[in-house]
Amino acid sequence: MRLIHNSRLPQFRTPFGAVTTGTSVALSVILEDADPNQATLTLRTWVDEIGESRYPMTHEGDGIFTVEFECTEPCLIWYSFICNIEGQPEVRLGAPQGRTGGEGVTYDYAEVPSFQITVYKHREIRPEWYERGMVYQIFPDRYARDENWRERTLTEVEKPRNGIQRRMVEDWNEPPEYERAEDGSIRTWDFYGGSLKGIQNDLPRIAELGFTAIYLNPIFEAASNHRYDTADYTKIDPILGTEQDFTELCEAAEKLGISIILDGVFNHTGDDSIYFNRYGNYPGVGAWQSEDSPWRDAFYFHEDGSYDCWWGVGNMPAINESSELVRERLLGKDGVIRKWLRAGAHGWRLDVADELSDDFLAEIKKAVLAEKPDALLLGEVWEDASNKISYGHLRRYLQGSELDSAMDYPFRDMVIGFLMGYKNAYQAAEDIETLRENYPSEALSCALNLLSSHDRPRIISVLGGGPDESQLPERERSKWRLDESSMGLAKSRFWLATLMQMTFPGVPSIYYGDEYGLEGLTDPGNRRTLPTKDQLHDFDTLAIVKNASAVRRALPFMIDGEIKAFALNDEVLAYNRTGKDGESATVIINRSLRNSHRVTIPALGECASDVISGHECEIHNGTVTLDLYPLGSSIIYHHAEQRLQEPLDHDAGVVCHITSVPTDDGKPGTIGAPTRRFIDHLSAMGMRYWQVLPVNPTDFFRSPYAGPSAFAGNVDLLPESQVELAADFETWKARGGEDADPLYTAFKHRNADWLEKYCVYMAVKKYFEGESRHDWPADVARYNEHLIDDKRFHDEAELQAYMQYRFDLAWCELMNYAHKKGIEVIGDIPMYVSDDSADAWSEPENFWLSDTGKAIEISGAPPDNFAPEGQVWGNPTFRWGHMKENGYRWWMDRLRRAFSLYDRVRLDHFLGFHSYFSIPAGKACADGRWLAGPGKDLFQTAYDELGPLNFIAEDLGYLTPGVRALASTCGFPGMDVLEFSDYDVRCGVHPTPGKILYTSTHDTSTLTGWCTRSFAGGDEPSGVEVAAKLMSDALASDAPLVMMPLQDVLGLSDDARMNVPGVATGNWTWQADEADVAAAEGKTAQLLRNTHRFWGEA
């Protein structure tokens, strides 16, 4: 006889895992190798404080027995099955030993391990501010000082006091060490002077790292530096600051999108407190001093004068939670819990939650929600919080009326155990599945996923193979350091641990300093000071935190998606994350130090991309096979072939700006006869695409990537001069103007969101003789809708509108001609706008500008091969948070405008939509830092509003896993540039699948210039020969589309280069010669025919 039940499979249990009250659960058992008609199966359940229940199961046929029951109240339901067959011993079916779910095991005795069902009450108002963010934990005394720290700290530590003494540590870098008395107790508490103001001063850095909440270890007045021995719940510890400092911290944090979570120590106080007052350091009569003290009832005293305390620690007397005074002071309307929420906190973490009764926890929860309906209540629970037994009682932490969740120590144990080899991948997967099954989804979403804390060794020391601390004197715990080799190993493991942390359900929590690889064993080693900026030299772990968290941001279903874990072998762990819309990814971790592994996983979509390596994966028979190096990792993003992108034709095209088109008179190319002739050449060559640079107005240096508007057309691209256009305008007005020209009216209506603002801006600029907007008078310092009627500007604004109309007519005519010739035009939009632009002037709230319109943050780029010193571009960066609030209206208008101009749009600096380099205005490039962009949210909004998006992503530069994940989720084809290949292209061109292959770009050397320099030792004829072969190989490759700057088609050297990044002058002037283009027409057409890329002849 065989009985089969697996609590994790839908054919045996529906729905999966924890359920809300009122849910009916269906269970099934399959009976094999026995006559089901002779069998009786019974479901046995057990609920604490209720007892046993039994339910007969129904035979549905084929040996399948079923039962269904309703879960009416929050509780834990334990269940197993009883099978009776006449003439045979009774058999029980329960959970595996030591587990609460999974594949059942048969037993021949009654008290078998049971399966668990968590029944919970749904919380209507969720703490989304917490669930969707990241937490930064701070131990306040060791984080950061402010300018007044010394005076404030000395004032407190020098006060005469009885009991344990205090001293100030002057040297911020002195390793913490306890000075102990002969009996082992603390003789003196050390204070380093960290403060609330110190934390506030560092808020911008914390926000820039993407943290949305700060969990503060206790901040209330206390005798010790850890402050878990509270002296007065109603006062901020004077060494840390004042209540006003706390309020200002909360206000400053909120402006940066950060919430504050406080540490609530409500199981005990300090014996040196206003409540207990053991040493008489406070003026009132404390519980220790007299039985008549109003606080006597707040503690548990025995007849012999002894008292209950936390785990026998005498300086932490336990609170009597039944005391009316305690309950009022903690839970009342003006009590501690609500007071500090009103002062600015957004949630509480409860210290030693196991020591607090379920009823008391429920009352705390009520007080928290009464003050802030979306507040958080988190508990310190070291085990599985769904079924924790504390002091002989099964706790109700996660059933809806108490904790939102707990500190996820089981997650930490699983990560460390797996990476360090204490458990294999199968055991780690089982740990994950147990959490998935036992925790309500709401509790799993709120679990605080930590790797380090003030109570545990720092993660970098653990992963580097830190010593057995029992063999190490306490004074060495903060001084012990990894050697260079061990630190290297620790960093490799830290990437895997952080990647798991950022891709796991719940909220990642980084303990201060872990982002800098701060070392330290247990207390006091794990409570070292945070190094100051000038002391930081190794940023590897910071890059790891940034890159791993960027993946979480780029793949939002890593936050709220389902998880399912499995092992691929003893050393390789994997888990799938699946979003509500079916979007999914598989995270794969190889923990081995020595072994590479080839593994195979199910393909969960039409296509698969590895966002760690950037490789596109092949799918064979519904599976993906990949290789993992030792300590290797992959995130395989499963997706449809069609995502947000518009499909692209597979052929070839030419990159040439309009000004580079040849003309008969040698002047820059214009829209009209020169461009029509150029289109004829492209058509004869067999090209499908013509890519141009941005057609917006340029700046003084003629850069199409900078200018006075992100929307307007560049009227200098018209064949008529502005003087001639002004004359045409007068003639047009004389013939009736707008009243007689319905096309003009339609044009104004289509472009109403930007046209007037731009025209008024240009009129004001002309009136003030080209002065910067920053020098304009106050009455025109910012756009307002009445300026169009100002006599100073009205006529010029009308002329500007007319010239934009003429640009629109000429451009539409050009596009129609190109389409008739089978040519699609690829346009280009710069990432940023100029500081002196109509955009920044008319809508300053969209940019990081001060109240006076001055830039606060400007764009740039860190050092790279183009610019070793980095680049300061000077454009104001976007206020993405503000833009998100209004549905990215400005960007939707901009994209709509781009789609009206071009067939396809190249998105310049695509990586900036994921993370952008921002430099404080007036600072050097070295002071810049990477900040989070809008990610997929912007493009999903555009897709929902505009439909499939015909973008090309300029994804050149520093491609992190986060950028790759963004590109994969959007589906926009990226750029593969020959010059940037990491292999010898002379041995064959191997394009990245799905990307557009560019032979060069307007920002690089020409193909011939690069080949001459890199492969021909400076000999240009040889360089031309190599370039010609590479051009042929590129066109013969399997790249879906090959784009060639016209300079490459013509075989020109770097003398024809279009732009040198970081150099302001001498750019954007190259122009082709008509004879060269005509001469190249025939051989280029033949080349495209030979490589089957001639448009229309494929």
Cβ burial of 470 (10 Å; 0-12, 13-18, 19+) is exposed
DSSP symbols for 381-398: -SS-TTS-EETTEE--TT
H helical segments located in 655-721: 673-685
Dihedral of the alpha carbons of 153, 158, 159, 161, in degrees to the nearest 10: 120
231 vs 237: CA distance, rounded Å: 9
Q: Measured between alpha carbons, how far is 400 from 446 in angstroms, rounded to an integer?
A: 13
Triad 793, 797, 800: Cα angle to 5°: 145
The C-alpha atoms of residue 1042 and residue 999 are separated, in whole angstroms, by: 8
The stretches of 821-957 forming alpha helices (DSSP H) are 838-842, 880-885, 889-901, 936-946
Task: Write 662-666 long-range contacts (CB < 8 A, 24+).
Answer: 662/1071, 662/1072, 662/1073, 662/1074, 662/1076, 662/1077, 663/1071, 663/1074, 664/1074, 666/1071
Kindly state the tokens that stand for 653.
Answer: 């095209």
> How would you list the strands of the sheet with 213-216, edge to edge?
405-406, 376-379, 347-350, 259-264, 213-216, 135-138, 507-511, 448-450
Radius of gyration of the chain (CA): 35
For strands 824-829 and 689-691, give the pairing.
parallel
Residue for token pair 């190259």: 1070
Q: Determine phi and psi for 246, rounding to 5 degrees.
A: -65, -45
Q: Of 338, 916, 966, which is closest to residue 644 (Cα–Cα)? A: 966
Nearest to 472 by CA among 463, 459, 481, 464: 481
CA 951 – CA 906 distance, rounded (Å):
6
CA 26 to CA 14: how far, in whole Å? 5
The set of catalytic residues is 908, 954, 1003
Q: Where are the alpha helices (DSSP H) in 903-1019?
A: 936-946, 961-970, 1007-1015
Cα–Cα distance between 913 and 830 in angstroms, integer?
12
961-970 and 936-946 helices, crossing angle to 10°: 10
Place of tokens 């641990």: 497
